[in-house]
Structure 1
Amino acid sequence: MKKTQLIFLSSIMGLLSFTGINSQTKKTSKNPAIFSNAVYEGTDKVYIDNPLNAGEFYNPILQGCYPDPAITRKGDDYYMVCSSFAMFPGVPIFHSKDLVNWTDLGGVLNNVSEFNPHDTGISQGVYAPGITYNPHNDTFYMIVTAFSGGLGNIIVKTKDPMKGWGSPIKLDFGGIDPSIFFDDNGKGYIVHNDAPDKGKELYNGHRVIKVWEYDVNTDKIIHGTDKIIVDGGVDLSKRPIWIEAPHLYKKDGSYYLMCAEGGTGGWHSEVIFKGDSPKGPFIPAPSNPILTQRYFGKDRKNKVDWAGHADLVKGPNDKYYGVFLAVRPNEENRVNTGRETFILPVDWSGEFPVFENGLIPLESKLKMPEGAVNKTGQDGFLPNGNFTFTENFNADKLDYRWIGLRGPREAFISTTKKGLQINPFDTNIKEVKPTSTLFYRQQHNSFLFVTTLEFKPKSSRDLAGIVALQNEGSNYVIGVTKKDKDTYLVLQKNSWPRRKGEIISEILASTKIDVKNPIKLQVKADGDKYEFSYSTNGTDFVNVGSTVSGDILSTDVAGGFTGALLGLYATSANDAMPE
């Protein structure tokens, strides 16, 4: 897979973005859906077979679609950001004191009047952020490429990531994957991926790394200072592809440029260069790559693959660590959980850094940094490994793990005494528009996702239920709708043909159902095998549509860069007609 810069022009919707449910204007709808609870339970065998011992924690540290991590540090506080594409809010951000236990701070780009991905494909929106703390002015910088609203490359700043971020500042350069570096003298530099100079592209996937000087006082690049510092990759004669995700570091008076190389798939890797100046020249390390999983057997147990797109930080006790993306394919080599955030210690005792155990098959457990105590899943810290997440929708503030797509969740949700109310948009899940769907990332290859729904459709245009989604043309919908005078439960599969054209929609099953009382809907997966079911008595579940393949929920079939999302869905533009 490769990244291609696409800038979409979009109009501003005028919605306000909020951080909590109750801070919004109350929404009204002629026929809302009420979800009184939701439970997500992960049961991956790798965690059952490999329980934690004292002093250990699980890798990945962020399960599900949290790719392209970047990290920075101020004192004992670590902040990490990831790509979000068309999910909203943009650029999720996390905080830790020890690199083991992380809290979710929401999204950096949470104002839809400033960042509005309302008409972008799910794999567009915003991706590959960088985050850097500048000690010279005590300011954090988040820099990223936004594929909506004509924004392009932007930067936002704050003195305290706990208290929110300023408005986006548009930067006048092209390319993608920017990051910012501040030298010891306070001078700023931006590095990013770009196309070769016009007429000098040698092959498909030939890219360059470019550097600009950055004016810290005006927050602008200094025109005329741009320079190509890497052409193609480590060795241009070998036609390396997709050199990207650059980061600059300084150690012992020398400058280091670390990049991803090989594309964000099976040939992905991390490479490093060294120079005497932020503007080079940069010489590749003789030991490249310093992180990859590309050399190992495809059938290895508990496979982790696609490792790369990394960033380094000095951790506790001045020990270096690197965060990076990788995938955990299922038994059919599908990547339904998407690209996740992993971490490894880094040995920088020699001239060049090397990820410890990053050149052997990655394992599911790591030794914790000295002094850390594993509190994952406790005291507000995010869980990892196998866990159960229960949501009763009765808290004052909705958990940040619940997200919108192409727009804020607050535009269609409200709270009632019965639970979460979704006020349906006149938008179908197959449209490239904001949908009235509250999403949760699939975080395990084997999981159960169940919700209790109260909904009485008034016409065939009304539907509420669950969607398992990879993109607008690759998803399953199980929901309650109406045909004539009867209420039905229907299972619909939406998929692209091999050569993308019009989405093909199939009704896999439908059955009459009584909705006098709330019903339970469930999605269950065992690797590539997905089952959809319902219960009218709260305990006995009836399978709908037998077992189906999760192939369309994987990027290798559906395309793009995201993992599967599980959504609480309501629409007044339903086209899933019972048979």
Structure 2
Amino acid sequence: MWRNSFVMSNSESRITIPNPVLPGDYPDPSIVRVGDDYYVVTSTFQYFPGVMIHHSRDLVHWKPIGHVITRRSQIDLTGVPDSHGVFASDISYADGKFWVVVPFFHGQPRCSNLLFTAKRPEGPYSDGIVLNHHFIDPSIFHDDDGRRYLVFGGGWLQELDADGTRLIGEARQVWPGTGGRAPEAPHIVKRNGYYYLMLAEGGTAFGHMETLARSRSIWGPYESCPHNPVLTQPDPAHPLQKAGHGKLVEDPRGNWWMLHLGGRPLTPGGATPLGRETFLEPVRWTSDEWFEVGDGGRPQEWVEVPGSQALDLTESEPELFNGAELSPIWEWVRHPLEGSYALTDKGLELECQPYPLYVPGSTLILTRRWEHFGFETRTRLSFAPRSLGEEAGLIVYRDMDAMLLMSVRYGIGQTSGQKFDTTKLYEKQEDDGLYLQLDRSERCFRHTLFQRRLEMEPGEDLWLKANLDADTQHFTFAYSVDGASYTDLDLTVPAEFIYPENFARYKCYTAPRIGIFAMGVLYQPSGSATFKQFEYRT
């Protein structure tokens, strides 16, 4: 082991931080440094806005600052199946602008690699320019002679023209990897006259790895690193797994680092409810001009980094939805229905528009990531329905095939023995009212687990709360009509069915999220729900 021999400048103060540095569903990190600032982009798949951007000054404290894909004109996610859409993107900086190349995986053909640019890291970014329609996980390498190249798939390379908007010459596979399955996510860095080409191999799950080769010419031939893989996790009992898909960055002091993908299973070989997360590892250059990563090529639970400011573990402030725009932590499931939401002085108003939960179209489902194995979340809303069947509330969402919905629903109040008048089915009747309902939706079937009539009027405030126990991995639920005294639903729901590994139709690359939603009834007048607060805490 060489971990204790990792040396930083003697003048630097150091702190030890836990991995991951971006906990939660932040896979496929790509990093760039501009001056003293670091920027990271991660995959967002079917969620919008797409390609989240984080900023840091120290590689420890990260803040979301925006997205690359903020307009439907850039990428249209309508109809994109679950775990399709925006795959692993790459960010770089050259000629006074940020370059983000995005693989749009839609299946017709397999993938389109698109280039977006912006003067500022948070955007706004340009509309996309097509570079090619081959393979996934592209990156751009800007050479010191002014030339630039697109690197994609399993070690393929092709030159870009002077302004970087069109491929020229022939594409060549300069290094196919070491023979592991699914070689992807190539990145090139240049140091001391060597071009270092990195690949992810083994698939983005258990057995994932990062491999390395180098050449004096960008076109090869490439020499495979003698201690490949440079990063992997062969120990099934270790808490950090799936290590791979990395990119290097050099800090202003000359230290090198790798950001990479990884996962934390609940049990050896088990489920990873937080999905694929972003980890940080130190990089050590060896005397023969190769490099080693982490703890002898293994990911570390704790990492020593330069700095004096300890990791900030304070709880985030409740979201009051009182800004001019939504915080970057929020992402819609595909595109939100046009004109159906607004930030007002009272909160976030969602119109109860009809849409099917099980079809890949526009929705009014707004989500944020889990960042912990256990958490409590609650929201305060007022519900003003106009038609029977409208609903709004909390949602635990993985994809179209797995979700939990805790909602207030405008329901029919007729009881056994009453005459049923079909002509008044959608009109308000004396016994109609608001119902609290908990539903488990799995593989397109929605099962009601709990229902109770609420003694409240439309438009009054209601608080909904969901709690995930970190040890049992069971959800519990409660509600309140005053925000102080909560009534438990007296049932538990195992979270296992919503884990990424328990996918139904499409292999799941996304982790479950928590959020809010509103939904209406086809061909009926639309009411609304106003969300005044959302809180996530551990």
TM-score by length of 2: 0.84
2:319 alignment partner in structure 1: 391
User: Is the alpha carbon distance of 1:310 and 1:398 closer, same or farther for their aligned partners in structure 2, counting shifts above 3 Å?
Assistant: same
The one of 86, 89, 99 aligned to 2:59: 99
Q: What's the CA shift string for 1:215-240, capped at 9, x where partnerless?
A: 133611114x2111233x31x3xxx2
SS at match of 1:336: coil
Q: Distance in 2 between matches of 1:452 and 1:261?
A: 45
Q: What's the CA shift string for 1:308-353, capped at 9, x where partnerless?
A: 1110000130100111111122359322211111111111244212
Aligned length in residues: 480
Q: Does 1:317 align with 2:253?
A: yes
Letter in 2 for 1:114: Q
Letter in 2 for 1:75: G
SS at match of 1:391: coil
1:7 alignment partner in structure 2: none
Map 1:513-524 onto structure 2 (within 5 A): 513-516=454-457, 517-524=460-467
Q: CA contact under 8 A between 2:243 and 2:299: conserved in structure 1?
A: no
How far residue 71 of structure 1 moved from its aligned partner, in angstroms, is 0.8
Q: What's the CA shift string for 1:55-94, capped at 9, x where partnerless?
A: 2333222121111000112222221111111111111112
The one of 433, 436, 456 aligned to 1:489: 436
Map 1:212-291 onto structure 2 (within 5 A): 212-217=158-163, 219-223=165-169, 225-231=170-176, 233-234=177-178, 236=179, 240-291=180-231
Q: 249-258 or 458-467, which moves further after superposition?
A: 458-467
How far residue 54 of structure 1 moved from its aligned partner, in angstroms, is 7.8
The one of 87, 109, 116 aligned to 2:47: 87
Gaps of 5+ in 1: 1-52, 194-207, 378-384, 497-502, 575-579
Map 1:396-411 onto structure 2 (within 5 A): 396-407=324-335, 411=339
How far residue 409 of structure 1 moved from its aligned partner, in angstroms, is 8.4
1:64 alignment partner in structure 2: 24
The one of 421, 445, 450 aligned to 1:504: 445
Q: Distance in 2 between matches of 1:69 and 1:130?
A: 8
Gaps of 5+ in 2: 1-12, 413-431, 523-538
2:294 alignment partner in structure 1: 356
4+ residue segments displaced more than 4 Å:
148-151, 408-411
Q: Distance in 1 between matches of 2:348 and 2:455?
A: 21
Q: Does 1:428 align with 2:353?
A: no
2:518 alignment partner in structure 1: 570
Q: CA contact under 8 A between 2:68 and 2:123: conserved in structure 1?
A: no
Q: What's the CA shift string for 1:191-249, capped at 9, x where partnerless?
A: 111xxxxxxxxxxxxxx3211111133611114x2111233x31x3xxx2111100011
1:304 alignment partner in structure 2: 240
Larger Rg, first or second structure (1 or 2): 2
2:389 alignment partner in structure 1: 461
Q: What's the CA shift string for 1:362-396, capped at 9, x where partnerless?
A: 31x32232x4534x55xxxxxxx573441122234
Give me the CA root mean square deviation. 2.3
1:343 alignment partner in structure 2: 280
SS at match of 2:253: helix
Letter in 1 for 2:478: S
How far residue 416 of structure 1 moved from its aligned partner, in angstroms, is 3.1
How far residue 491 of structure 1 moved from its aligned partner, in angstroms, is 1.1
2:508 alignment partner in structure 1: 560
Q: Distance in 1 between matches of 2:291 and 2:435?
A: 59
Q: 256-265 or 429-438, which moves further after superposition?
A: 429-438
1:138 alignment partner in structure 2: 96
Letter in 2 for 1:284: S
Map 1:21-36 onto structure 2 (within 5 A): none
Q: CA contact under 8 A between 1:409 and 1:438: conserved in structure 2?
A: no
1:373 alignment partner in structure 2: 309
How far residue 438 of structure 1 moved from its aligned partner, in angstroms, is 1.9
Determine which structure has greater relative contact order: mean sequence separation of CA pairs < 8 Å that are 6+ residues apart, divided by chain length: 1
User: Is the alpha carbon distance of 1:139 and 1:483 closer, same or farther for their aligned partners in structure 2, counting shifts above 3 Å?
Assistant: closer
SS at match of 1:317: coil
Q: Does 1:451 align with 2:386?
A: no
Letter in 2 for 1:250: K
SS at match of 2:385: coil
Q: Distance in 1 between matches of 2:482 and 2:97?
A: 55
2:131 alignment partner in structure 1: 171
1:543 alignment partner in structure 2: 488
The one of 71, 84, 94 aligned to 1:124: 84
User: Is the alpha carbon distance of 1:395 and 1:159 closer, same or farther for their aligned partners in structure 2, counting shifts above 3 Å?
Assistant: closer
Q: Distance in 1 between matches of 2:181 and 2:266?
A: 26
Letter in 2 for 1:480: V
Q: Does 1:419 align with 2:359?
A: no
SS at match of 1:230: coil
User: Is the alpha carbon distance of 1:163 and 1:128 closer, same or farther for their aligned partners in structure 2, counting shifts above 3 Å?
Assistant: closer
Q: Distance in 2 between matches of 1:107 and 1:519?
A: 32
User: Is the alpha carbon distance of 1:330 and 1:520 closer, same or farther for their aligned partners in structure 2, counting shifts above 3 Å?
Assistant: farther
Letter in 1 for 2:83: S
Q: Distance in 1 between matches of 2:296 and 2:468?
A: 30
Letter in 2 for 1:522: K
SS at match of 1:552: helix
Q: Distance in 2 between matches of 1:531 and 1:216?
A: 58
Q: Distance in 1 between matches of 2:162 and 2:490?
A: 59
Q: 388-397 or 240-249, which moves further after superposition?
A: 388-397
How far residue 148 of structure 1 moved from its aligned partner, in angstroms, is 4.8
SS at match of 2:155: strand
Q: CA contact under 8 A between 1:405 and 1:437: conserved in structure 2?
A: yes
How far residue 525 of structure 1 moved from its aligned partner, in angstroms, is 0.5
Q: Distance in 2 between matches of 1:186 and 1:103?
A: 32
SS at match of 1:55: strand
2:419 alignment partner in structure 1: none
